[in-house]
Amino acid sequence: MALRNLVLEGDPLLRKTSRPVDEITPRIIKLLDDMADTMYFEGRGIGIAAPQVGVLRRVFVIDVGDEHGKIEFINPEIIETSGSQTDNEGCLSVPGKTCAVERPEYVKIKATDRDGNEFELEAEGLLARCICHENDHLNGILFIDKSVDGKVYKAGDDDEE
């Protein structure tokens, strides 16, 4: 198990656009493993994107605790969205803060897994929310940019993404 240091709000790395992965090298596999370890550390997170550990690659890992378990996304692309939902979000890179963000209720996403196989996934509710949140990280966007009332609050004990 290897933990990586989290990049925190204020670091310009979080505002950059990540580059696609051209080849799934042992380095990318190690990145995926370390990202999951960092996400699960003390049960803190339900999702983590590569820029949050300082790597500007289009990769994220999610585990919202549903039947899917851990899902790894390489070069993800959201190909369909519908509906809307509004709920509080948090982020491992924005500790202690929360705000309500509007997201699609449903998303369909295409990505590559660690074996190089392309897959599609349909998600609703929390999983759809988490996918949108992590995908935003790859484009330098943080949830606090999207607060429905323009304000950011001190967080309670909610799960952080």
Q: Which residue is nearest to Zn ion (CB)?
A: 91
Question: Which of residues 72 and 161 has its CB atom nearest to Zn ion in the complex?
Answer: 161
Q: Specify the residue, 7 or 74, whose C-beta has the smaller distance to Zn ion.
A: 7
> In terms of CB distance, is 74 or 91 closer to Zn ion?
91
- Residue pair 161/91 in contact (Cβ under 8 Å)? The answer is yes
Per annotation, catalytic residue among 72, 89, 134, 160: 134
By CB under 5 A, what part of segment 4-63 binds Zn ion?
none
Q: Residue 80 in contact with residue 107, Cβ under 8 Å? A: yes
The reply to whether 91 sits near Zn ion by the rule CB under 5 A is yes
How many angstroms separate the CA atoms of 123 and 129, rounded?
Answer: 9
User: Is 77 part of the annotated catalytic residue set?
Assistant: no
Instruction: Report helix, strand or coil for 84.
Output: coil
Stretch that binds Zn ion, among 11-19, 79-87, 88-96, 98-106 (CB under 5 A): 88-96
Where along the sequence are the contacts to Zn ion (CB under 5 A)? 91, 161
